[in-house]
Amino acid sequence: MREPIRWLREIGWRANSYICGNILIDAAQPVTEVAPYKDQIDTIVLTHGHFDHMANLAALADLCDAKVCIGEGDLAFLTDDSLSLAGHFGSHSPGIAAEPLADGDRIGEFVVIHTPGHTRGSICLYREEDGALIAGDTLFPHGSFGRTDLPTGKHADLVASINRLAELHIESLWCGHDMPVPSGAMRDVLLSQAEVPRYG
């Protein structure tokens, strides 16, 4: 039986987080939001290395005694303030160790899909059983998608990544920002696919 995906709504500049079984996806939420689930979480997966997705990573990893995973291309973001944009928020990268994730790895019920473009190491998590896609900042509802003018971003890579996602059956979309799309999300993916080439 598949685990439900629990949405922890973005707060100000802090991105959405999601809890699915023993996994916390993205880690900018206040400790108080995650504390009720600390005993079930043993893994934190970052969709990419921007600070608005990992502002409380160190505290949440400690709270849950959890290992941290991130796309291998974004490992350096954990220690480099200019890559993570931490300085923009008046802070510093968390500076903690993480396990690299590669395309095709499995974590819990999900397969890792490397989706460079927003950052070089951006990943999505896809659950084939029900078409759930946890997309980070790769794409958003209503035909929107992640920006590519930040460090390591590349528009051509984002186009290729969204084209790849459009080949999947995606029923629900769980993004880094905006509200989740609990059903019928393929429409949003195809809208993003149609729009993204126009902004290169």
CATH of residue 186's domain is: 3.60.15.10
Domain tally, the chain: 1
Residue 56 lies in a domain: yes
Structure tokens at 27: 């880690």
Q: In the prediction, which pLDDT does 1 show? A: 74
In whole angstroms, give the CA distance from residue 184 to residue 49: 29
Half-sphere exposure of 121 (CA within 13 A, CB side): 23
Residue 93 lies in a domain: yes
In whole angstroms, give the CA distance from residue 80 to residue 49: 10
Residue 94 lies in a domain: yes
Q: Which domain holds residue 17?
A: 6-199
Element spanning 59, H or E? helix 57-64
Q: In the prediction, which pLDDT does 18 show? A: 98
* Nearest one of 66, 73, 52 to 10, comparing CA atoms: 52
Task: Measure the CA dihedral 180/6/85/114, to 10°.
Answer: -80
Q: What is the pLDDT along the chain (200 residues), one digit of tens a residue?
A: 799 999 999 999 999 999 999 999 999 999 999 999 999 999 999 999 999 999 999 999 999 999 999 999 999 999 999 999 999 999 999 999 999 999 999 999 999 999 999 999 999 999 999 999 999 999 999 999 999 999 999 999 999 999 999 999 999 999 999 999 999 999 999 999 999 998 87
Residue with tokens 């973005």, as numbered in its chain: 10
Q: Which residues of 63-86 are buried (b: 16+ CB within 10 A; e: fewer)?
A: bbebebbbbbbbbbbbebbebbbb
Residue 147 lies in a domain: yes
Residue 1 lies in a domain: no
Residue 116 lies in a domain: yes
In whole angstroms, give the CA distance from residue 94 to residue 109: 27
In whole angstroms, give the CA distance from residue 122 to residue 115: 5
* Nearest one of 62, 32, 60 to 46, comparing CA atoms: 60
Half-sphere exposure of 58 (CA within 13 A, CB side): 10
Phi then psi dihedrals of residue 197, to 5 deg: -65, -20
Residue 74 lies in a domain: yes
* Nearest one of 189, 70, 46 to 131, comparing CA atoms: 189
Residue 168 lies in a domain: yes
